[in-house]
């Protein structure tokens, strides 16, 4: 074998690439970038091969097996104007671009987004989900994003793509003016609208946005607590039942206190009953006024308390009292001490 045959054997005869997970663009390693004229180029489905000559994009090949001849490399042939025949090697960078869908890419709001809700007013919202993207124009993507690196993975560009999606979704939610309570029923529709809204920005990079999924849009903790409280009121049905519900909650909380005991339970029960009676009286008065339109005058003030008559001056300490304030036992008339606990009246 002569020297020319040895040198000829060093030139690349088969050019192919098996996709690695997460890699979008891969530059084929060729020694001195020398490729044999007549070599086989194997491009698999969901791939594209791009030839770059001296920094200038020459030819793009789709899926299939290609024999590299002058008729198959019109641009590269014109750039080099082959002078040494069809068997002469040529130097060129070969890039393989994956055109498959890259799914399960994450997006999420780094900081809360302030929105105006028709029911709750100004609120802060967070959201997260996934999106899918693929290379739609390999040549444009190579010029706009890849540059001259050895390879490009999805991790290298997801930060920028995520910011585009978050910005577009925030703008879309603000314009849609969907109440927070109805957002969960509109996730799919918002995802489809986001694809249409953001597609031009991805196309400018040579990409195609093939899917956007909204998994959750959450509110601050204090707003969620207010929603829970309002739900509790709706379950109660009306104000009277809600007051009874609150009383039961207070009794339960008092019973759970380690130092509350019977006294704490009694205090909670008494306060709840008094509040319920007061609210019931107010509602009855309001209903009575609504039923009798002639009662338009405000209620008259109660007359001032009259001083005790002289006939009561000689009454004992238990006069007017029927039960002991300490133990609740029944008092006898004119008693000075409780017969149950012995407390002074």
**Three-state DSSP string of 233-253:** HHHHCCHHHHHHHHHHHHHHH
Average pLDDT value over all residues in the chain? 75
What is the DSSP pairing of strand 34-43 with strand 12-15? Answer: parallel
pLDDT for the residue 2: 46
**What's the pLDDT score for residue 135?**
94
Average pLDDT (50-65) is: 85
Q: Are the C-beta atoms of residues 33 and 7 closer than 8 Å to each other?
A: no
Query: Does the structure show a pLDDT above 80 at 341?
Result: no
Report the phi/psi class of residue 32: left, alpha or beta, with left for phi > 0 and alpha for psi in -120 to 50: left
Checking if the pLDDT of 1 tops 50, the result is no
Angle subtended by helix axes 261-291 and 239-256, to nearest 10: 170
Q: Which residues contact 155 (CB under 8 A, 6 or more apart)?
A: 22
Chain centroid to CA 215: 7
Q: For residues 18 and 167, give the distance between their C-alpha atoms in angstroms, rounded to a whole number.
A: 35
Q: What is the pLDDT of residues 89-143, one digit of tens each?
A: 677 788 999 999 998 899 998 888 888 888 778 888 889 999 999 999 999 998 8
Q: How confident is the model at residue 5 (pLDDT cuts 50, 70, 90)?
A: very low
Closest CA to 201 of 170, 147, 162, 173: 162
N-terminal to C-terminal alpha carbon distance within the chain: 129
Share of the chain above pLDDT 70, in %: 64
Least confident of 50-59, 71-80, 268-277: 268-277
In angstroms, the CA 325 to CA 249 distance is 27
Of the ranges 240-249, 292-301, 316-325, the best mean pLDDT one: 240-249
Residue 158 Rama label (left phi>0; alpha psi -120 to 50; beta): alpha
Contacts of 64 (CB under 8 A, 6+ apart): 43
Q: Exposure of 270 by Cβ count < 10 A (0-12 exposed, 13-18 middle, 19+ buried)?
A: exposed
Give yes or no for a contact between 254 and 265, defined as CB atoms under 8 angstroms apart.
Answer: yes
127 and 109 Cβ atoms separated by less than 8 Å:
yes
The predicted structure's pLDDT at residue 208 = 95
Rounded (to 5) percent helix, strand, coil in the chain: 40, 25, 35
> 137 with 109: CB under 8 angstroms?
no
Contact 318, 333 (CB under 8 A): yes
Give the distance from CA 259 to its chain's centroid.
Answer: 42
Strand ranges (DSSP E) for the chain?
A: 12-15, 23-27, 34-43, 47-53, 56-61, 64-67, 90-91, 93-98, 102-108, 113-117, 121-135, 151-153, 207-218
For range 256-266, the mean pLDDT: 58
DSSP string across 8-33: HHHSEEEE--PPPTTEEEEE---GGG
């Amino acid at each position: 074998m002569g020297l020319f045959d040895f040198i000829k054997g060093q030139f690349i005869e088969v050019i192919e690439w098996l996709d690695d997970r997460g890699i979008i663009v891969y530059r084929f390693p060729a020694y001195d970038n020398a490729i044999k004229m007549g070599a086989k180029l194997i491009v698999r489905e969901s791939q594209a091969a791009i030839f770059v000559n001296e920094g200038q994009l020459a030819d793009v090949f789709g899926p299939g097996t290609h024999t590299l001849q002058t008729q198959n490399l019109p641009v590269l042939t014109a750039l080099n104007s082959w002078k040494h025949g069809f068997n002469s090697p040529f130097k060129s960078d070969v890039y393989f671009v994956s055109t498959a869908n890259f799914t399960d890419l994450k997006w999420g709001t780094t900081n809360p987004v302030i929105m105006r809700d028709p029911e709750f007013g100004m609120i802060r919202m967070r959201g997260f989900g996934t999106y899918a993207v693929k290379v739609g124009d390999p040549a444009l993507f190579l010029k706009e994003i890849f540059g001259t690196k050895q390879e490009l993975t999805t991790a290298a560009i997801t930060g920028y793509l995520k910011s585009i999606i978050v910005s577009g979704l925030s703008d879309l939610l603000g314009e849609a003016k969907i109440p927070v309570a109805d957002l969960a029923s509109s996730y799919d529709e918002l995802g489809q609208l986001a694809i249409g809204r953001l597609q031009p920005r991805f196309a400018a990079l040579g990409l195609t946005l093939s899917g956007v999924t909204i998994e959750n849009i959450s509110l601050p903790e204090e707003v969620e607590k207010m929603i829970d409280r309002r739900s509790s009121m709706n379950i109660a049905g009306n104000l009277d039942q809600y007051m009874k519900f609150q009383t039961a909650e207070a009794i339960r909380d008092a019973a759970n206190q380690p130092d509350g005991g019977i006294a704490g339970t009694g205090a909670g029960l008494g306060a709840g009953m008094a509040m319920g009676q007061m609210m019931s009286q107010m509602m009855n008065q309001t209903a009575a006024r609504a039923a009798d339109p002639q009662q338009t005058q405000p209620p008259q003030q109660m007359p001032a308390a009259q001083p005790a008559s002289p006939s009561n001056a000689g009454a004992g300490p238990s006069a007017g009292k029927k039960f002991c304030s300490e133990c609740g036992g029944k008092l006898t008339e004119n008693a000075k001490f409780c017969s149950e606990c012995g407390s002074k009246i």
